[in-house]
Amino acid sequence: MEAARESSLPVAHRPARVSKVVQLRERETPSIEKPFSPRLDDRVRICTERAELVTESYRRTEGQPWILRRALALDHLLRKMTIYILDGEQIVGNYASTPRSLPTYPEFSTAWLETLLDGELRGALDEKRKKRLKSIHEYWRTQNVEDTFRKSLPGDLKDYAGWTGAVAGAWDFPAGPMIPDYKRAFSLGLNGVLGEISHHRSRLSPHDPDVREKTHFYDAAEICARATIAFARRYAGLARARAETSRGASRKGYETVARICSRIPDHPPETFHEALQSFFFYHLISSQISWCSLGLGQRFDQLFYPFYRKEKDAGTLTYDRAVSLLEFVWIKLADLGQLTPPVTTMVLVGGTKFQNVTIGGVDEKGNDATNELSFAILDATMKARTIQPSLCLRYHEKINPRLVDKAIDCIATGIGMPAIFNDEVGVKWHLNMALNHMNSDALRYLGSKWPRIVWAFLEASRSRVARKTREFAAAVYPRTDEILHNWPYKVMVNKGRTARSLRGGLKRAGIFDTEQTLALIRDWSPIACVTGGLSGMSVHGGMSNLSAACVLSFVKCLEYVLYQGVERENGKQMGLRTPDPRTFRTYEQFLDAYLQQIRFAVEQIAKVYAVCEPIYQERMPRPFDSLLMKHAIARGRDATHKTEGAYSEILTMGPVNAADCLAVIKKLVFEEKTVSMDEMVQACSSNFEGREPLRQRCLKVAKFGNDDDYVDTLLAEMYRSANETVRSVKDHFGKPFALEAAVVGGFYMAGTVCGATPDGRKRGETLSDGQLSPMHGRDVKGPTAVLKSCSKVDPTRTWNQLLNQKFQPAFLTGRNKKVFADYLRTWHTFRNWHIQFNCVTSDTLRDAQLHPERHSGLIVRVSGYSAYFTDLTPTVQRDIIRRTEQDLTGIRCG
């Protein structure tokens, strides 16, 4: 092993991790101990190696284009960083110099880390290394990305780049989830990709206005590809050396690793094992070493099945062996982690990585895609019991009931996985997504990676713009690419010929094919928290490259209506100055003011994005990721490039609470008129101090989650109008913003900055834990009522609503299993988007709070992912306990 640069403090838990792997090797059907999951605690070590190497490289490359500098830095890193193979590991690859340490990303931001180094992370590295890290930070202090961004913000926007107001952004954490197209990478091998690069480079026209940019891109991509191959070779070398000094089974293991790492990733993988190893190298470099981006949405069972089938048929692989190899990958994925700024850590409670592994779903033809590997993946998850990867099941009408059965077994283990996604909604969702963008800026898409999908929408849509666009596209389709960027929109719509004849022509010419469009869409998978994406296509969100989250707090906007836009925390005018609520005569006036507040907040987000995005785009291109995307190389543009059809999204916080609030105001203030608006404002501003009876009355008004139309329709309506409002604001590319309903664990955080609200929630209490999850303890009519309530919100309009349900294991086993399966089937017929289950009793949880030592392996699901219960803060723990337990044996009275 090469010299470790990591700090010399003892790493307390390492032996456990190693022995787990040994166990796995020896028995191959192991019961695995809790794997190391990196978090901000005293056990985390900081590995300074990455920071040092990267900075070394950046110092040398000053003055060169950023894209090249990034590629060169990655190259330097992959060639120089410490690598190791733990005894018994069959899938290799490490991202810091020791298993228990985490690298840092000084080129991105330094400020928060500086603070932590003197605070919580005091023990994470020794003085010598701390000094060295600080001198590195010295270099970056005035030129890291975050700093550049903050300096560029005009004064009046500075308030909106924090966490206090209705807008909350974790700007100091890079994200930008994407789904790499591994199918392509596997079939080409990096050699093939390099071939593509040189092919397209040779066809570059000297008259191309972007020729310089494109050349840089190709250079950078090539550097990354070669560095990756070299990285794999280093493991081959290390494994060979280890093989020489060991014997028996472990020698054999090293030899296998050496053989595999000297073939891939340059050559297409041939065996299941090779494919998994290729995948892991790509994933490791893309999501960890090069850039801490979020997520991996992969249809694992589809991606690896050909390799599995081939070997299984040839008799060189058994089902059990496949399961244990998957377990090795799971352990690897669970081992990955990142140091994140405190704010982000609170958003991603438990330091999750959103490494989604998807099973189920349909094939290109729309038939059930379940295969043996789908089962193997569930088995691996049940055996490994790691909190990562996050398992997702695409549930559809024709799904194999045996797979559902097994998925229920998996949920019943209390691991909180798989999360279940509605396949039909996923498909429709992708259709809608493009359609929504279509109306205002359809043409931008036509030249992008979406043409076929877009075409399908154009066909489906009846809107005038869509029709015009369709006509135009039909006329110019073969040349859209060149024309798009040069022709003004108006000219284009005037060139219409009749669409139908042209479409027929295009079809005959094989240019457009509905089946192909659908085939493409049917390959969707969940990415990040609960968003859907297409492999090789989506560099997601307005954050193609941008921060983890720009969050719109629905609850805060509502507060601003009560206080006319004044933030009560600091007395500043942070919202819009809407009229005094006491003057409102009707509920509609209130709602109108509310929507104005939302619009105002979104406008601030748009302004911040406009400053932020160009900086990110220049400074943080993703040449490595571009290797794995479908069209980046052919187009000569980096994967983050905006023509890639990314859209700007706004995440939401507390919509369910907001709807509950609206119901109270509508009912008590405007309909019954039993409470005056003045009273309500005062009650909220005084945190219901001395007004308990009023609070009780507020609590008695219908709450979301009880199949009560009064409030359920308010939520549906609020989603609808908020979505319209948000879409009416354009981002800096002139595209409408999209309202996304998915926000991870941010509700804990967002709750702390919200004052008391009319729904009876007191100051600082958390918000509901999902965009469709009823507020804790307020859904009292049982799990069927929750689903009914949720079914009233259109999942294809505002996307990604997250619904948490908690069941006792007893509901999922024995004779109840069938009932649960039926429950799930009904959920599916309601066309909701997502559901996930916590499956533990609150008694267990309470006991775990008192005796964490007895429950260290206890996994719970925290909206979107699983975390170790004992790792969570007491507040979060309390909330999980409170989340209404759907208890059938509930005592009926009292």
Q: Which is nearer to another protein, 371 or 816 (CB)?
A: 816
* DSSP one-letter string for 123-149: GGS-HHHHHHHHHHHHHHTTTSHHHHH
Stretch that binds another protein, among 82-90, 128-136, 718-726, 818-826 (CB under 8 A): 818-826
**Residue 830 makes contact with another protein by CB under 8 A:** yes
Could you tell me the CA-to-CA distances from 870 to 392, 416, 519, 729, 849 in Å, in that order? 24, 15, 43, 42, 7
* DSSP one-letter string for 745-781: SHHHHHHHT----TTSPPTT----SSSSSPPTT---S
Q: Which is nearer to another protein, 154 or 693 (CB)?
A: 693
Q: Which is nearer to another protein, 630 or 691 (CB)?
A: 691
Using alpha carbons, select from 50, 22, 700, 30 the residue that is nearest to residue 338.
50
CA distance 565 to 548: 26
What percentage of the chain's residues is helix, strand, coil (to nearest 5)?
Answer: 55, 10, 40
Contacts of 586 (CB under 8 A, 6+ apart): 670
Q: According to CB under 8 A, which residues from 661 to 690 bind another protein?
A: 690
The residue behind tokens 């980046």 is 632
Residue 44 · residue 102 · CB < 8 Å: yes
**Residue 816 makes contact with another protein by CB under 8 A:** yes
Stretch that binds another protein, among 21-29, 331-339, 459-467, 816-824 (CB under 8 A): 816-824
**Residue 829 makes contact with another protein by CB under 8 A:** yes
The residue behind tokens 């969100």 is 541
Q: Which is nearer to another protein, 557 or 684 (CB)?
A: 684
Residue 552 · residue 605 · CB < 8 Å: yes
Q: Which is nearer to another protein, 433 or 694 (CB)?
A: 694
CA distance 269 to 186: 6
> Which tokens hold the place of 785?
């009522």
- In the bound complex, what is the minimum distance in angstroms from residue 678's beta carbon to another protein? 21
Q: Which is nearer to another protein, 488 or 690 (CB)?
A: 690
Q: Contact with another protein (CB under 8 A): which of 18, 382, 519, 785?
A: 785
Residue 377 · residue 357 · CB < 8 Å: yes
- In the bound complex, what is the minimum distance in angstroms from residue 24's beta carbon to another protein? 37
Q: According to CB under 8 A, which residues from 517 to 576 bind another protein?
A: none
Using alpha carbons, select from 628, 637, 629 the residue that is nearest to residue 218.
637
- In the bound complex, what is the minimum distance in angstroms from residue 326's beta carbon to another protein? 32
- In the bound complex, what is the minimum distance in angstroms from residue 790's beta carbon to another protein? 13
Stretch that binds another protein, among 100-108, 173-181, 692-700, 865-873 (CB under 8 A): 692-700
**Residue 815 makes contact with another protein by CB under 8 A:** yes
Stretch that binds another protein, among 548-556, 727-735, 863-871, 884-892 (CB under 8 A): 884-892
Q: Which is nearer to another protein, 184 or 697 (CB)?
A: 697
| Parallel, antiparallel or unpaired: strands 804-806 and 356-360 | unpaired
- In the bound complex, what is the minimum distance in angstroms from residue 773's beta carbon to another protein? 17
Using alpha carbons, select from 674, 652, 380, 383 the residue that is nearest to residue 531.
652
- In the bound complex, what is the minimum distance in angstroms from residue 799's beta carbon to another protein? 23
**CB atoms < 10 A from the CB of 324, how many?**
22
Contacts of 420 (CB under 8 A, 6+ apart): 392, 393, 395, 407, 824, 827, 834, 835, 836
CA distance 638 to 824: 41
**Residue 707 makes contact with another protein by CB under 8 A:** yes
Q: Which is nearer to another protein, 364 or 887 (CB)?
A: 887
CA distance 306 to 173: 37
Contacts of 313 (CB under 8 A, 6+ apart): none
Q: Contact with another protein (CB under 8 A): which of 825, 831, 878, 882?
A: 825
CA distance 454 to 714: 32
Q: Which is nearer to another protein, 510 or 693 (CB)?
A: 693
Q: Which is nearer to another protein, 498 or 784 (CB)?
A: 784
The H or E element that residue 299 is part of is strand 298-299
**Residue 693 makes contact with another protein by CB under 8 A:** yes
Q: Which is nearer to another protein, 319 or 830 (CB)?
A: 830
**Binding-site size, another protein (CB under 8 A):** 31
**Residue 495 makes contact with another protein by CB under 8 A:** no
**Residue 809 makes contact with another protein by CB under 8 A:** no
Q: Which is nearer to another protein, 192 or 782 (CB)?
A: 782
**Residue 769 makes contact with another protein by CB under 8 A:** no
**Residue 697 makes contact with another protein by CB under 8 A:** yes
- In the bound complex, what is the minimum distance in angstroms from residue 826's beta carbon to another protein? 5
CA distance 38 to 51: 18
Q: Which is nearer to another protein, 3 or 891 (CB)?
A: 891
Find the DSSP H helices in 7-97: 14-27, 49-60, 66-80
> Which tokens hold the place of 602?
């979104």
**Residue 819 makes contact with another protein by CB under 8 A:** yes
- In the bound complex, what is the minimum distance in angstroms from residue 781's beta carbon to another protein? 6
- In the bound complex, what is the minimum distance in angstroms from residue 406's beta carbon to another protein? 20
- In the bound complex, what is the minimum distance in angstroms from residue 412's beta carbon to another protein? 15
Tell me the three state secondary structure of residue 37.
coil
- In the bound complex, what is the minimum distance in angstroms from residue 841's beta carbon to another protein? 14
Q: Which is nearer to another protein, 188 or 803 (CB)?
A: 803
CA distance 65 to 871: 43
Q: Which is nearer to another protein, 146 or 712 (CB)?
A: 712
- In the bound complex, what is the minimum distance in angstroms from residue 821's beta carbon to another protein? 9
**Residue 696 makes contact with another protein by CB under 8 A:** yes
CA distance 849 to 794: 38
Sign of CA dihedral 646, 647, 648, 651: negative
**Residue 888 makes contact with another protein by CB under 8 A:** yes
- In the bound complex, what is the minimum distance in angstroms from residue 397's beta carbon to another protein? 12
- In the bound complex, what is the minimum distance in angstroms from residue 786's beta carbon to another protein? 9
Q: Which is nearer to another protein, 781 or 878 (CB)?
A: 781
- In the bound complex, what is the minimum distance in angstroms from residue 893's beta carbon to another protein? 4
CA distance 173 to 278: 27
**Residue 826 makes contact with another protein by CB under 8 A:** yes
Using alpha carbons, select from 557, 579, 552, 582 the residue that is nearest to residue 567.
557
**Residue 781 makes contact with another protein by CB under 8 A:** yes
**Residue 822 makes contact with another protein by CB under 8 A:** yes
Q: Which is nearer to another protein, 371 or 791 (CB)?
A: 791
- In the bound complex, what is the minimum distance in angstroms from residue 187's beta carbon to another protein? 41
- In the bound complex, what is the minimum distance in angstroms from residue 118's beta carbon to another protein? 42
- In the bound complex, what is the minimum distance in angstroms from residue 699's beta carbon to another protein? 9
Q: x-or-dash pattern for another protein, window 242-271, by CB under 8 A? A: ------------------------------
Chain centroid, CA 699 distance in Å: 34
Residue 384 · residue 376 · CB < 8 Å: no
Q: Contact with another protein (CB under 8 A): which of 692, 764, 854, 857?
A: 692
The half-sphere exposure of 53 on its side-chain side, counting CA atoms within 13 A, is 24
Q: Which residues bind another protein (CB under 8 A)?
A: 690, 692-693, 696-697, 707, 781-785, 788, 810-811, 815-816, 818-819, 822-823, 825-826, 829-830, 886, 888-889, 891-894
